[in-house]
Amino acid sequence: MTGQAPSLVFRFTDTEVAKMEEVLRDLNAMPKHPVIQGLTDDFNASQDRSGDGKVLVQYNQVRNWFQNRRSVQSRKMMVPPVAEEHHPVAGSYSGNSSSDGGHVQFEAKSARNGAWYNVAAFMSHRFIETRDPEVLVRFTWLGPEEDEWVDVCKCVRVRSLQCVAVLPGDIIMCFKEGKEQARYFDAHVLQVQRRRHDVRGCRCRFLVCYDHDHSEEFVPLNKVCRRSVHQKAQKPHEMMDVNTDKVTGGGVPIPPDQGGPSDKPVAPLLDSPTSTGSNSVADVEAGGTEATRNGEGADEAHGDKIDVGA
Partner DNA sequence: CTCGGTTGGATTATAGGCGT
Partner DNA sequence: ACGCCTATAATCCAACCGAG
- Judged by the rule CB under 7 A, the positions of this chain that interact with DNA are 1, 4, 7-12, 17, 29-30, 32-33, 58, 60-61, 63-65, 67-68, 70-71, 74-75, 97, 99, 195-200, 203, 205, 220
What does R_g of the chain's alpha carbons equal in angstroms? 24
Residue 138 pairs in a beta bridge with: 121
Least CB distance to DNA at residue 93 (A): 15
Calpha distance 265→76 (Å, rounded) = 30
6 versus 277: smaller Cβ distance to DNA: 6
Least CB distance to DNA at residue 29 (A): 6
Least CB distance to DNA at residue 257 (A): 28
98 versus 289: smaller Cβ distance to DNA: 98
In degrees, rounded to 5, the angle at the alpha carbon of residue 148 between the alpha carbons of residues 145 and 154 is: 165
Calpha distance 307→68 (Å, rounded) = 28
95 versus 220: smaller Cβ distance to DNA: 220
Least CB distance to DNA at residue 65 (A): 5
User: Can you give the length of the chain in residues?
Assistant: 310
Closest CA to 56 of 77, 32, 39, 73: 39
58 versus 113: smaller Cβ distance to DNA: 58
Calpha distance 189→211 (Å, rounded) = 10
Closest CA to 300 of 309, 308, 291: 291
9 versus 129: smaller Cβ distance to DNA: 9
Least CB distance to DNA at residue 62 (A): 8
Least CB distance to DNA at residue 74 (A): 4
Contact status, residue 187 vs residue 208, Cβ threshold 8 Å: yes
170 CB burial (10 A radius; 0-12, 13-18, 19+):
buried
19 versus 87: smaller Cβ distance to DNA: 19
Q: Which amino acid is at 240?
A: M
Instruction: Please enumerate in sequence order all residues whose Cβ is within 8 A of that of 227, keeping only pairs 6 or more positions apart, or say none.
Output: 171, 172, 173, 186, 270, 276, 278, 284, 288, 289
Q: Which amino acid is at 55?
A: V
191 versus 274: smaller Cβ distance to DNA: 191
SS3 of residue 74 by DSSP: helix
Least CB distance to DNA at residue 234 (A): 25
